[in-house]
Amino acid sequence: MRELFVAFPKGAALRPGRYRLILSVGDLQMADHAFTVDEDSAAITAFALAMAPTGPNVTRLATGIQHFYLRYTYADACLGTPYWISVRHNDVIICTHNATLPQESGVETIPCYRKDGAVLEDGAYEVELTMMGQVYHRDTFEVGDAPTPPPPTATPTLAPTATPTPLPLACVPLFAAAGLAPDGEPFLPKDRFEWYSQVIYVGTRCENLPYAMSWESAWYRNGKPVRTATGVWSGSGGDGMVWDSITGIPRAPFLPSGTYTVSLTLEGSAPLTTTFRLIPYVKPETQP
């Protein structure tokens, strides 16, 4: 018993229709099998941008972001279909992602960021999704703060009674670090870590934190999800540190190498994101 590989003619996909496969050895016919190739019914039914894997859709990305997420919904595709996603700005590729569809219909969320972690420039961007060498979806979006509309003409009104309002939550950019110091500050914050790292912390220091504020995190490695977590800030309100971490496991204590993207979303606030790399182990050369 063995497999028989039959290549498509001239590398092109078979056209829809009814086919018959006959296997002969010499003058003896060994097998006769009929099959049908269906019409292509795969479709992208929805496409959106998001600042976190499970966050709400956004129509425009703000100035100064480092990465975001592409979310698309597909239907009636073949299981295992290879696909390719690319994002361009001024004809320069910003990010790419290629994989195979894990099911016939579903929703996929893909992170996009520059490999060097640089901030995305303001302007127009184009995203393209290709399956089996055919473009199935092409769209554009903007990075940059939307123009501010002129204020409406003021109408004299009675001044309302002043009521105290809570101070707005303010957080510093998300850090990645090898640990946390006793005072809660990040220990050895950086964007590149050695292959023997067993834990990485990601967090932010905030002001005006409300009591029992909830948070959630999402970790991706090379575009694939590796960890999600939720929690509640344990402080009593005010200033403090909100953080999460990823660790190895007993049988593999060192974290896998690659590019990691992390989003930390505080209740009622826009997600904070960061990117860092774990450098792979390089076996030293031995002298002859």
Annotate 189-210 with DSSP letters as a single string: E-SEE-TT--EEEEEEEEEEEP
Report the percent of the chain where pLDDT is more than 70. Answer: 91
Give pLDDT, residue 122: 92
Q: Residue type at 65?
A: I
Picking from 141, 134, 118, the residue whose alpha carbon sits closest to that of residue 70 is 141
> What is the average per-residue pLDDT within 81-95?
90
Specify whether the CB–CB gap between 56 and 271 falls below 8 A.
no
> What is the average per-residue pLDDT within 118-134?
87
Specify whether the CB–CB gap between 228 and 216 falls below 8 A.
yes
Cα–Cα dist 277/257, whole Å: 7
pLDDT band of 259, cuts 50, 70, 90: very high
The domain made up of 43-143 has a fold known as: Immunoglobulin-like (2.60.40)
The chain-wide mean pLDDT, for the chain, equals 85
The domain made up of 170-278 has a fold known as: Immunoglobulin-like (2.60.40)
Picking from 197, 175, 177, 199, the residue whose alpha carbon sits closest to that of residue 187 is 177
Give pLDDT, residue 127: 93
> What is the average per-residue pLDDT within 42-52?
84
Picking from 102, 276, 53, 281, the residue whose alpha carbon sits closest to that of residue 173 is 276
Give pLDDT, residue 88: 93
Give pLDDT, residue 119: 86
Structural tokens at position 31: 């097998």
> What is the average per-residue pLDDT within 85-93?
92
pLDDT band of 16, cuts 50, 70, 90: confident
The yes-or-no verdict on residue 173 having pLDDT over 70 is yes
pLDDT band of 287, cuts 50, 70, 90: low
pLDDT band of 148, cuts 50, 70, 90: confident
Give pLDDT, residue 244: 93
The yes-or-no verdict on residue 64 having pLDDT over 90 is no
Cα–Cα dist 95/87, whole Å: 6
Top mean-pLDDT range of 7-11, 46-50, 118-122, 217-221: 217-221
Topology match between the domains 43-143 and 170-278:
yes
pLDDT in tens, 94-109: 999 888 888 888 888 8
pTM for this model (two decimals): 0.58
CA 185 from chain center: how many Å?
Answer: 27
Asked which of 18-22, 113-117, 225-229, 251-255 is least confident by mean pLDDT, the reply is 113-117
Cα–Cα dist 237/233, whole Å: 9
Asked which of 23-32, 39-48, 125-134, 240-249 is least confident by mean pLDDT, the reply is 39-48
Give pLDDT, residue 86: 92
- CA 76, 104, 222 angle in degrees (round to 5)? 125
**Residue boundaries of the structural domains of the chain:** 43-143, 170-278
